[in-house]
Structure 1
């Protein structure tokens, strides 16, 4: 069966019993969640940071003060690098039910602006962390391709700065898990837009990620999930990449490992099989759904050397624009146990539509392909036809990728676990699931 059966909800009957128990002393009270305030304009790290009237100056000071359940509220201002690692390094963890949250103070619009450090926001070995509603802007506007070709080196951060990056702590060996990166605007970082490396239980959703990866020698991408690790033995979906808008990410500098152009993808799930290191293969599943990925240098969305990936109801438009790149607009290769269902793919002329190389038990079905080279593989319900989108284009501010009335994407998909679209519209609206990131709703 190529589709996913819809999950039913079951009510559990609970019996209550009257128990007689001896009196015991109450457990010790836990610390109540706190709020820390940060202002680059009026703050001081000698303040206590507990009010908007006495904020810290750096996000780092707040991060180093947090306990599980705390919230860091970032006020207006621009937040630059404090050291070679970048603007803030989050190493203190929350706990189950007590996530540490980083977000703007209500009504404020701060910008995290790394320039010479490795990262805007670095989550290093910390868990139960939520980054939401923030702007992270790199310095690519002030860099040039000529300078990057001469100076982008693996040892230097200037051309490799990442916007939001999660990784293992090399000193403690801790790997990050239960990380949420939601609703952020991430752009102009010469390295990765959003990357989770060696992590588990990661949610990356509702972000706008664009114009990243231009000058890095590390072959980065807009959104990257690389070498996830098992924090537990759960084998269902643990990593979610959904409802993101990803465009204009491109690797314009050769990857130092091969002296070739590589990656610069919109979204990549990379080597969950751990063929590039000695760690055991990841046994959870990755869900990539409802994303819009267009005009990127590499693939729009793909899984490479990975297993347990479900690529459902995405729209990929005119990717593989990069120099020396001809990767699939959407799909998988050198992978196994991957489902590519209900997607809409419009490829560039002369560019690959999908791949079948090295795949095992990779299912393509109920997708629409248009443009580009003929698909390397098609399922019984795949269609090669114009999806008839409303106003698709390369201009991110003046395009509409929804299906128009009469689109062959409407009601022609298969039932999956993707029960809402990227706008929150319930699926299905008609006789069946629509293909692509948007469910057609009658105006």
Structure 2
């Protein structure tokens, strides 16, 4: 185990409060992601239309009426005591600690969601008790979860949306928005959504997850989406999140490790469950995310179709030495078709494992993935000119030639970043070769992960951060 690896993962030996302080200061990549959460928070209250407001406070009482003057004491009391809670309503959770596993058992409708909102960004701390599973479990559709600090004290995930009504015979909830949350130190994934449709996962921070859950989660996991009626186009969006230091530590049965990715788009074909829904036909967008220091891959697209991965920064992942695999890409396309990889930055750390690579494009079944395009991506593995690509079989778009123009083996020139991950800043220096090196051919976000316009220069920058060229 490398010294850098030991330094990075000593966080797991710290008490949670100490680890939270260290992680917030040193591992968010440039401008604090938590500051971004507070300053650039999309207002969920704007989505609630003319609905009612119910309040929860640690100083409240579950015998109260849930008004601001007489709040409930527990979040669960709102769902238990307001039978007509629903579309357009907002549950406002005041700052404090809530030692409960929250089941979101009411939802909204097509006109307005039900919103669960932390009154102060990350001011409401949800800590589910031992013996529970996930800290927040969404079992209804048309729901927004906004602004919480979440830790599962049970065996599951931070925020989960898996089965409608909690019944594993059902598909998952749809039209679910998860934004501005910090999900950390959970045995499973930080955020896990499955079997549903119309997900928006944005501006969250996920770290220190996946340590012990038998299903081997990731910082953010989107699994086996199943389409519901609705408009065409992009239906699943994962954007402007920070996912780092998620890694399997001690799994039941001491089985080999396989995941702990920053972000995984997993089996949108529904092959593992053999569900009759089949392959999810709509577009998924993964954009403006920062993934670093995870045990698994940075962004992993596995057994999936119709995904765009655009303007992400993935660095120094694949740190789990209990993962026996030699397919270890920062950006990873495995057994997946119709995938666009555009304007990303990938930096591999060979000091952890010699098979680590910036890009992995591979097929396990002998049949190559179809219509996988790599355009304007930057790769680096510590030595200029080394492409850092693992291909099986070769993909002709992984080239520096026109029209793909990938910057292979090119130092990205971050403001401050190294494999030891000490106080990193993954923004680009003004003279970085990644500045103005992107393309808009396959679309572009209006802004980067910090809200800076993508139109600062002649062309968009590569990676999650936009800068002004020198």
Distance 2:266 2:92 in 1: 33
Please name the residue that 2:406 is paired with: 382
Please name the residue that 2:160 is paired with: 165
Distance 2:79 2:452 in 1: 37
User: What pairs up with 1:330-349 in 2 under 5 angstroms?
Assistant: 330-349=331-350
Is 1:79 the equivalent of 2:86? no
Classify 1:36/1:108 alpha carbon distance in 2 versus 1 (closer, same or farther; 3 Å): farther
Please name the residue that 1:115 is paired with: 129
Classify 1:265/1:107 alpha carbon distance in 2 versus 1 (closer, same or farther; 3 Å): closer
The alpha-carbon deviation at position 440 of structure 1 amounts to 1.3
Is 1:105 the equivalent of 2:119? yes
Classify 1:403/1:32 alpha carbon distance in 2 versus 1 (closer, same or farther; 3 Å): closer
The alpha-carbon deviation at position 45 of structure 1 amounts to 1.6
The alpha-carbon deviation at position 374 of structure 1 amounts to 2.4
Distance 2:309 2:117 in 1: 29
* Higher gyration radius (CA): 1
User: What pairs up with 1:19-38 in 2 under 5 angstroms?
Assistant: 33-38=51-56
Q: Deviations over 1:41-78 (max 9, x none)?
A: x2222211122x21111111113422211111111221
Stretch deviating more after TM superposition (98-107 or 285-294): 98-107
Q: Report the RMSD for the aligned CA atoms in angstroms.
A: 2.2
Q: For this pair of structures, how many residues does the alignment match?
A: 385
In structure 1, list runs of 5 or more residues that go unmatched.
1-30, 82-86, 140-157
| SS at structure 2 position matched to 1:93 | coil
Please name the residue that 1:272 is paired with: 268
Contact 1:235–1:283 (CA under 8 A) maintained in structure 2 = no
Q: Deviations over 1:292-319 (max 9, x none)?
A: 0000000011100000110000000100
Q: Of the candidates 352, 356, 360, which is equivalent to residue 355 of structure 1?
A: 360
Is 1:67 the equivalent of 2:81? no
Distance 1:186 1:400 in 2: 21
The alpha-carbon deviation at position 397 of structure 1 amounts to 8.0
Please name the residue that 1:45 is paired with: 62
| SS at structure 1 position matched to 2:76 | helix
The alpha-carbon deviation at position 423 of structure 1 amounts to 1.2
Stretch deviating more after TM superposition (428-437 or 187-196): 428-437
Distance 2:152 2:95 in 1: 17
The alpha-carbon deviation at position 32 of structure 1 amounts to 5.2
The alpha-carbon deviation at position 323 of structure 1 amounts to 2.1
Question: What is the TM-score when the length of structure 1 is the normalising length?
Answer: 0.82
Classify 1:171/1:246 alpha carbon distance in 2 versus 1 (closer, same or farther; 3 Å): closer
Contact 1:253–1:261 (CA under 8 A) maintained in structure 2 = no
Classify 1:205/1:255 alpha carbon distance in 2 versus 1 (closer, same or farther; 3 Å): farther
User: What pairs up with 1:183-332 in 2 under 5 angstroms?
Assistant: 183-232=180-229, 234-254=231-251, 259-279=255-275, 280-325=278-323, 326=326, 327-332=328-333
The alpha-carbon deviation at position 179 of structure 1 amounts to 0.7
Q: Of the candidates 430, 433, 437, which is equivalent to residue 457 of structure 2?
A: 430
The alpha-carbon deviation at position 442 of structure 1 amounts to 5.3
Q: Deviations over 1:130-180 (max 9, x none)?
A: 1111111244xxxxxxxxxxxxxxxxxx4x221100011327735311111
Q: Of the candidates 407, 413, 416, which is equivalent to residue 432 of structure 2?
A: 407
The alpha-carbon deviation at position 270 of structure 1 amounts to 0.1
Please name the residue that 2:40 is paired with: none
| SS at structure 2 position matched to 1:218 | coil
Classify 1:106/1:367 alpha carbon distance in 2 versus 1 (closer, same or farther; 3 Å): closer
The alpha-carbon deviation at position 334 of structure 1 amounts to 0.5
Contact 2:431–2:469 (CA under 8 A) maintained in structure 1 = no
Please name the residue that 1:93 is paired with: 107
